[in-house]
């Protein structure tokens, strides 16, 4: 509050605005450390693919336990490079969930493959093993589970199924930093996985960045080469455009050194940030339990393994979702819908010939789910405000 002002009741009663996302306070708290890493980049004199990326890759390898971390410019490119490095051939089918971010399927097309959709489990939102069984064909070579919101897909069942059918498992673990199964980090439960450092992600940069994670030496070497015009090894000079020796047709998808600098600083707070997210999620749980119109709160599904859920997105299912979104927006509360349209009904995949009704669980999730603000900067007062407005909407009581 502005100390010199005499409290004006009108001002005190002004509705609290709750943005869907901000990390301004988190950045401010880490300011000196970020400055140090960024200055280090400036002093180094090598501004693309410098030592900061390598330093971040080593730190992330330590955090995740991955044998190899390959820093790239986005989670989306990480998926494309991973699919290519894992040996996807033109026309190979990759089974992906119908409910996910578009990159889970567009990456398959960009890598030259064909996405094949399957339905999801309606509680955990991961791809459903029984649905995968139904869509397999002789051309199916890969299975790409996506770990959404706060928990891993049903990896025990999916890895069993994949082994049975000879499928290679690649994880879209873009959202899953910090999530583990029996101590194994997301992305390392199959042949490889990815991380996204898009700003809203649990470990978010100040722009775009991503990484490939794998324990497989050959996949790592190929992904490393592909991100840099097909050149094997880190023999990189100041002019990465010069033609030395390209064994593969690659792309320029190197991680930006400034993003690596920011991420190195933020990694020191990741576990604290994850704990704060859990605290906020528990506060939402307590306030929303039993509210009429709220159909489902985030539910961690027991898969018979030790799981470390991480609340990346606090996703609820509600009646009259779109009206609630409008109501909250009118009261200054920003929300998001992850994802309003299932992948099998996206115009860009129309040629796959799907119709409404093909994957009912995915379609229901698109209609009913709503993501509430959740990030370390969020206050418990803001959680109260959001929940009061939700209760008021469904019960007609004043907020
Ligand atoms: C964020 C995300 C991606 C893409 O990551 P970008 O860094 O934004 O390219 C892919 N898949 C899922 C499930 C995601 O949440």
Percent of the chain scoring above 70 in pLDDT:
93
Tell me which DSSP letter residue 302 carries. Answer: P
Residue 266's pLDDT band, with cuts at 50, 70 and 90, is: very high
pLDDT in tens, 145-166: 999 999 999 999 999 999 999 9
Query: Ligand 1 center to residue 337 CA distance, Å?
Result: 15
- Mean pLDDT for 343-370 is 97
Atom of ligand 1 nearest to the CA of 147: 13
Give the orientation angle of helix 51-64 with respect to helix 257-267, to 10 degrees. 40
**Of the ranges 91-105, 107-121, 235-249, 279-293, which one carries the lowest mean pLDDT score?**
235-249
Residue 243's pLDDT band, with cuts at 50, 70 and 90, is: low
Residue 4's pLDDT band, with cuts at 50, 70 and 90, is: very low
Tell me which DSSP letter residue 140 carries. Answer: E
Atom of ligand 1 nearest to the CA of 107: 10
Cα–Cα distance for residue pair 105/221, rounded to 1 Å: 24
- Pocket perturbation via mutation, ligand 1, pick of 172, 205, 207 by most ligand atoms within 8 A of CB: 172
The domain segmentation of the chain, as residue ranges, is 25-119+126-267, 270-395
Whether 74 is in the pocket of ligand 1, judged by its Cβ within 6 Å, is yes
Domain 25-119+126-267 has CATH 3.30.420.110: no
Q: Are strands 114-118 and 93-97 parallel, antiparallel or unpaired?
A: parallel
Cα–Cα distance for residue pair 261/193, rounded to 1 Å: 22
Alpha helices in the chain (DSSP H): 9-12, 24-29, 31-44, 51-64, 75-85, 103-110, 129-135, 155-165, 217-226, 257-267, 270-288, 321-330, 360-368, 380-395
**Of the ranges 5-14, 180-189, 343-352, which one carries the lowest mean pLDDT score?**
5-14
Q: Evaluate whether 25-119+126-267 and 270-395 have a shared fold.
A: no
- CA separation, residue 43 to residues 35, 37, 52, 171, 207 (Å): 12, 10, 11, 37, 21
Name which residue leads in pLDDT, 12 or 372: 372
Beta carbons of 352 and 37 less than 8 angstroms apart: no
Cα–Cα distance for residue pair 282/376, rounded to 1 Å: 13
Using CA atoms of 248, 251, 257, 263 in order, give the dihedral in degrees to the nearest 10: -100
Check pLDDT > 70 for residue 12.
no
pLDDT of residue 396: 85
Nearest CA to ligand 1 atom 5: 75
Whether 75 is in the pocket of ligand 1, judged by its Cβ within 6 Å, is yes
- Pocket perturbation via mutation, ligand 1, pick of 75, 115, 176, 365 by most ligand atoms within 8 A of CB: 75
Cα–Cα distance for residue pair 13/253, rounded to 1 Å: 49
pLDDT of residue 9: 46
**Of the ranges 29-38, 242-251, 312-321, which one carries the lowest mean pLDDT score?**
242-251
CA 200 to chain centre: 9
Whole-number CA gyration radius for the chain: 22
**Of the ranges 25-29, 126-130, 151-155, 169-173, which one carries the lowest mean pLDDT score?**
25-29
Query: Ligand 1 center to residue 367 CA distance, Å?
Result: 21
pLDDT of residue 244: 63
Cα–Cα distance for residue pair 210/78, rounded to 1 Å: 6
- What's the CATH number for 270-395? 3.90.1150.10
Q: Are strands 140-143 and 93-97 parallel, antiparallel or unpaired?
A: parallel
Whether 71 is in the pocket of ligand 1, judged by its Cβ within 6 Å, is no
- CA separation, residue 353 to residues 104, 105, 345 (Å): 18, 15, 9
């Amino acid at each position: 509050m502005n100390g010199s002002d005499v409290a004006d009741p009108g001002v005190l009663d002004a509705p609290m605005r709750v943005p869907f996302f901000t990390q301004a306070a988190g950045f401010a708290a880490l300011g000196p450390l970020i400055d140090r890493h960024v200055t280090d980049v400036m002093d180094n004199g090598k501004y693309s693919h410098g030592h900061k990326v390598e330093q971040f890759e080593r730190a992330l390898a330590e955090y995740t336990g991955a044998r190899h971390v390959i820093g790239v410019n986005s989670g989306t490119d990480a998926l494309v490079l991973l699919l290519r490095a894992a040996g996807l051939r033109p026309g190979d089918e990759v089974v992906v969930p119908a409910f996910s971010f578009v990159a889970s399927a567009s990456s398959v097309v960009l890598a030259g493959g064909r996405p094949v959709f399957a339905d999801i489990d309606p509680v955990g939102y991961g791809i459903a093993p029984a649905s995968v069984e139904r869509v397999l064909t002789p051309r199916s070579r890969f299975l790409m589970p996506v770990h959404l919101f706060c928990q891993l897909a049903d990896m025990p069942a999916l890895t069993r199924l994949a082994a049975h059918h000879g499928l290679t498992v690649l994880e879209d673990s873009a959202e899953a930093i910090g999530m583990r199964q029996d101590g194994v980090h997301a992305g390392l439960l199959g042949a490889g996985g990815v991380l996204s450092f898009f700003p809203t992600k649990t470990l978010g940069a100040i722009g775009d960045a991503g990484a490939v994670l794998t324990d497989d030496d050959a996949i790592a070497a190929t992904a490393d080469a592909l991100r840099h015009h097909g050149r094997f090894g880190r023999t990189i000079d100041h002019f990465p455009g010069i033609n030395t020796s390209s064994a593969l047709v690659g792309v320029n998808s190197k991680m930006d050194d400034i993003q690596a600098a920011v991420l190195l600083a933020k990694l020191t707070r990741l576990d604290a940030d994850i704990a704060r997210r859990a605290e906020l999620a528990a506060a939402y749980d307590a306030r929303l339990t039993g509210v009429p119109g709220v159909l489902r709160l985030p539910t961690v599904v027991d898969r018979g393994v030790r799981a470390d859920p991480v609340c990346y997105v606090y996703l609820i299912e509600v009646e009259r979702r779109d009206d609630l979104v409008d109501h909250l927006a009118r009261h200054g509360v920003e929300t998001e819908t992850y994802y309003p349209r299932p992948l099998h009904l996206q115009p860009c995949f129309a040629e796959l010939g799907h119709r409404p009704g093909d994957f009912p669980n995915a379609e229901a999730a698109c209609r009913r789910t709503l993501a509430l603000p959740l990030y370390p900067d969020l206050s418990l007062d803001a959680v109260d405000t959001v929940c009061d407005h939700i209760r008021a909407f469904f019960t007609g009581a004043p907020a």
